[in-house]
């Protein structure tokens, strides 16, 4: 399959983190298919928990795959959670392709454990790769776009950020306190970034993908591959939405959260205030709160929390 010569991302350059495997690989290929020149980043460790030596092969193989299809791609094999290496990653796109237009933050690891058993290192490493990793690249990309806008006398530039959250944040995930917290943090980072960069012409959105990758191979082991057609859990179902959000057509979409898998996209509504109570005095007392909140929660099913468990039931159909 050769890449088409014209596409909505023609002339644009993109960075995709963690693109040596899984979802990031599918997203990098899709951005290239739509016409973007791509920096394929991956630190390349062998363990999905971030264990093992750094390895250049995953990023280099995907970059070579894109070039073999007729696209433009280079590999970057750094750690996105390292501030200096993230700076080099954004600089690599600017050096290689003249500027950066699209940043897809996707790199991630898993270290699952119940909150009462989790070690400090399991907590820190997952927060570091996901949340700090997203911040690091966003910081340097945002500085680049602000500089370009200033140099153009305050004109808007082209910038797109697609971040990767998870249903583990939205729906809650008892065995993943570190991961759910990092993914919730990424949604906060996304809305903050969306507000801060809108005036420069830059959008930031987040997706909650679902796909069969090495990260989820045991979770989805029970879901058999169909005899024919695309696996409903293939990462290729997620990539088109990332390509679309990166494109000029998505200019009006900013600060949004979308669930995507298996030929389905669901737009998540923002949290809304469900009930409001005002103190009859200057401020609340214990007794007043007890009188208002205890009956309010009395009939609520005990398992019902802020978590949006119903998103787990979304499927095509």
Active site positions, annotated: 166, 179, 183
Q: What are phi and psi of 188, to 5 degrees?
A: -60, -45
Smallest distance from ligand NAD to CB 42, Å? 5
With contacts defined by CB under 6 A, name the span among 30-38, 74-82, 111-119, 150-158 that binds ligand NAD: 74-82
Residue 129 binds to ligand NAD (criterion: CB under 6 A): yes
Q: For residue 307, with 0-12 CB atoms within 10 Å meaning exposed, 13-18 middle and 19 or more buried, which class applies?
A: middle
**Shortest Cβ 104–ligand NAD spacing (Å):** 10
Rounded to a whole number of angstroms, the CA Rg of the chain reads 21
Strand order in the sheet with 159-164: 73-76, 37-41, 13-16, 102-104, 159-164, 202-209, 257-261, 264-267
CB 310, min distance to ligand NAD, A: 17
Identify the bridge partners of residue 102 per DSSP, sorted by sequence position.
14, 160
Helix 177-197 / helix 120-127 crossing angle, nearest 10 deg: 30
Backbone region of residue 189 per phi and psi (left: phi > 0; alpha: psi in -120 to 50; beta: other values): alpha
Q: Does 149 bind ligand NAD (CB under 6 A)?
A: no
93 vs 157, which CB is nearer to ligand NAD?
A: 93
Indicate the residue among 156 and 173 with the shorter CB distance to ligand NAD. Answer: 173
214 binds ligand NAD (CB under 6 A): yes
Counting residues that bind ligand NAD (by CB under 6 A) gives 33
Q: How far is the CB of 141 from ligand NAD (least distance, A)?
A: 15
**Hey, CA dihedral for 111, 115, 117, 119, is it positive or negative?**
positive
Q: Does 187 bind ligand NAD (CB under 6 A)?
A: no
Assigned token pair, 4: 């088409």
Cβ distance to ligand NAD smaller for residue 236 or 288? 236
For position 107 contacting ligand NAD by CB under 6 A, the verdict is: yes
62: left (phi over 0), alpha (psi -120 to 50) or beta: alpha
Subset of 24-43 contacting ligand NAD (CB under 6 A): 24, 41-43
Is 210 in contact with 261 (CB distance < 8 Å)?
A: yes
Within the chain, what is the greatest distance between any pair of CA atoms?
71
Residue 203 engages ligand NAD in binding (rule: CB under 6 A): no
The span of 63-71, 102-110, 194-202, 288-296 binding ligand NAD (CB under 6 A) equals 102-110
Judged by CB under 6 A, the chain residues 262 through 291 that form the site for ligand NAD are none
The footprint of ligand NAD (CB under 6 A) covers 17-18, 20-24, 41-45, 48, 50, 58, 79-81, 106-109, 129, 133, 164, 166, 209-211, 213-216
């Amino acid at each position: 399959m050769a890449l088409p010569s014209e596409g909505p991302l023609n002339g644009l350059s993109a960075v995709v983190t963690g693109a040596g495997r899984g979802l990031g690989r599918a997203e990098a290929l899709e951005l290239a298919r739509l016409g973007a020149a791509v920096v394929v980043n991956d630190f390349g460790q062998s363990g999905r928990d971030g264990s093992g030596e750094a390895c250049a092969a995953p990023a280099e193989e995907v970059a070579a795959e894109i070039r073999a299809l007729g696209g433009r791609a280079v590999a970057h094999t750094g750690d996105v959670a390292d501030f200096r290496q993230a700076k080099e990653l954004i600089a690599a796109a600017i050096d290689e392709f003249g500027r950066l237009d699209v940043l897809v933050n996707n790199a991630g690891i898993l270290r699952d454990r119940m909150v009462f058993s989790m070690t400090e290192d399991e907590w820190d490493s997952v927060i570091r790769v996901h949340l700090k990793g997203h911040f690091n690249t966003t910081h340097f990309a945002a500085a680049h776009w602000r500089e370009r806008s200033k140099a153009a006398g305050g004109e808007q530039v082209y910038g797109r950020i697609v971040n990767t959250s998870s249903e583990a944040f939205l729906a809650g995930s008892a065995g993943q306190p570190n991961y759910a917290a990092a993914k919730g943090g990424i949604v906060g980072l996304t809305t903050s970034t969306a507000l801060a960069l809108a005036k420069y012409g830059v959008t930031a959105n987040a997706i909650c993908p679902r796909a069969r990758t090495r990260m989820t191979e045991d979770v989805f082991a029970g879901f058999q591959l169909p005899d024919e057609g695309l696996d409903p859990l293939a990462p290729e179902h997620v990539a088109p939405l990332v390509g679309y959000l990166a494109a000029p057509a998505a200019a009006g979409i900013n600060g949004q959260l979308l669930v995507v898998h298996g030929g389905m996209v669901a737009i998540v509504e923002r949290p809304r205030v469900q009930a409001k109570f005002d103190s009859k005095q200057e401020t609340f007392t214990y007794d007043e709160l007890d009188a208002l909140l205890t009956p309010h929660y009395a009939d609520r099913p005990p398992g019902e929390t802020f978590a949006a468990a119903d998103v787990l039931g979304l499927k095509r159909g």
